[in-house]
């Protein structure tokens, strides 16, 4: 079996065993995850573990999320195929690519300039033309392109960033991990009357940096870019 066939087989096994088996049903999500070459979002020495049931390091103390968490969070956005989506925390760009397979257009913001540049280049090489990348603090969203049908945050604040709710459409969904030592995945829905909050499962994400960190009550707030 050549390398490409092996990667395709690993990808299908990943979706069958880790994602579908745990209850993700949305075919748009499952098909996107069968298609996007996750290993290409990692350094070459991690290609052999790219489809394992765990997060992997991407440098700068950050990680690419476990495949199941990517699948679950994408399903929770309830994308229909033509949505406008904002992602906070581009990281490797893997989640971005999954979103771009399903949504109409994806806007993504990354705090660490080196990661942002690498992801931008990688997504361009893979041929995505419906992704717009920006370097900066996603705490305040990306007002220029709002409102969004869905917003996904892939690092954890300890409170809901108000700007993200403001930039959601009525009927839109914000999917984010939230908490400090103990975090949970939340789905926030924006309705005519305000917001509703649903807790999904306990999770572990890196903290949301920048303004979100400065506003945290529990820790020392200096958050310099390394
Ligand atoms: N979705 C990513 C996961 C990356 S981990 C992937 O599939 O690879 C979370 C990312 O959020 C990190 O790259 C981190 O640098 C970034 N991040 C942290 N705080 C941020 C902020 N305030 N604004 C934008 N990105 C942030």
Stretch 73-84: mean pLDDT = 97
Report whether residue 107 contacts ligand 1, using a CB cutoff of 6 Å: no
d(CA 10, CA 52): 9
Q: pTM to 2 decimals? A: 0.95
CB-CB contact of 107 with 166 (8 Å): no
Stretch 60-83: mean pLDDT = 96
The catalytic site residues sit at 65
Q: What's the chain's average pLDDT?
A: 95
The number of the ligand 1 atom at minimal distance from the alpha carbon of 112 is 15
Bridge partners of 162, per DSSP, are none
Give the confidence band of 1 by pLDDT, cuts at 50, 70, 90.
Answer: low
Residues whose CB is less than 8 angstroms from the CB of residue 45 and which lie 6 or more positions away in sequence, other chains included: none
Bridge partners of 175, per DSSP, are 152, 187
User: What pLDDT score does 209 carry?
Assistant: 96
Q: Please enumerate, as own/partner, the contacts of 51-57 that have beta carbons within 8 Å and a separation of 24 or more.
A: 51/7, 51/10, 51/11, 51/13, 51/14, 53/14, 53/17, 53/18
Report whether residue 109 contacts ligand 1, using a CB cutoff of 6 Å: yes
d(CA 102, CA 32): 7
The number of the ligand 1 atom at minimal distance from the alpha carbon of 109 is 24
Give the pLDDT confidence of 204-217 residue by residue, as tens digits: 999 999 999 998 86
Stretch 78-82: mean pLDDT = 95
Give the pLDDT confidence of 180-202 residue by residue, as tens digits: 889 999 999 999 999 999 999 99
User: What pLDDT score does 2 carry?
Assistant: 77
Report whether residue 138 contacts ligand 1, using a CB cutoff of 6 Å: yes
Alpha carbon of 4 to ligand 1 centroid (Å): 29
Give the pLDDT confidence of 104-141 residue by residue, as tens digits: 999 999 999 999 999 999 999 999 999 999 999 999 99
Report whether residue 65 contacts ligand 1, using a CB cutoff of 6 Å: yes
């Amino acid at each position: 079996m050549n390398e490409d066939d092996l990667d395709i087989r690993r990808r299908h096994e990943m979706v069958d065993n880790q994602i579908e088996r745990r209850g993700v049903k949305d075919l748009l999500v499952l098909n996107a995850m069968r298609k996007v070459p996750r290993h290409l979002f990692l350094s070459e020495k991690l290609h052999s573990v790219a489809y394992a049931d765990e997060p992997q390091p991407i440098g700068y103390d950050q990680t690419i999320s476990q495949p199941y968490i990517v699948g679950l969070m994408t399903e929770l956005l309830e994308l229909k195929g033509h949505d406008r989506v904002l992602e906070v925390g581009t990281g490797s760009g893997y989640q971005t690519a999954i979103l771009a397979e399903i949504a109409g257009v994806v806007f993504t913001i990354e705090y660490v300039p080196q990661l942002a540049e690498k992801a931008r280049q990688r997504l361009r090489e893979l041929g995505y033309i419906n992704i717009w990348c920006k370097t900066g603090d996603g705490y305040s969203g990306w007002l220029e392109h709002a409102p969004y049908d869905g917003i996904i945050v892939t690092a954890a604040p300890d409170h809901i960033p108000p700007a993200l709710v403001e930039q959601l459409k009525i009927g839109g969904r914000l999917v984010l991990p939230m908490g400090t030592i103990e975090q949970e995945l939340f789905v926030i829905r924006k309705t005519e009357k305000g917001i509703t909050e649903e807790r999904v499962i306990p999770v572990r994400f890196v903290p949301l940096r920048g303004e979100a960190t400065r506003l945290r009550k529990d820790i020392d707030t200096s958050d310099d870019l390394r």
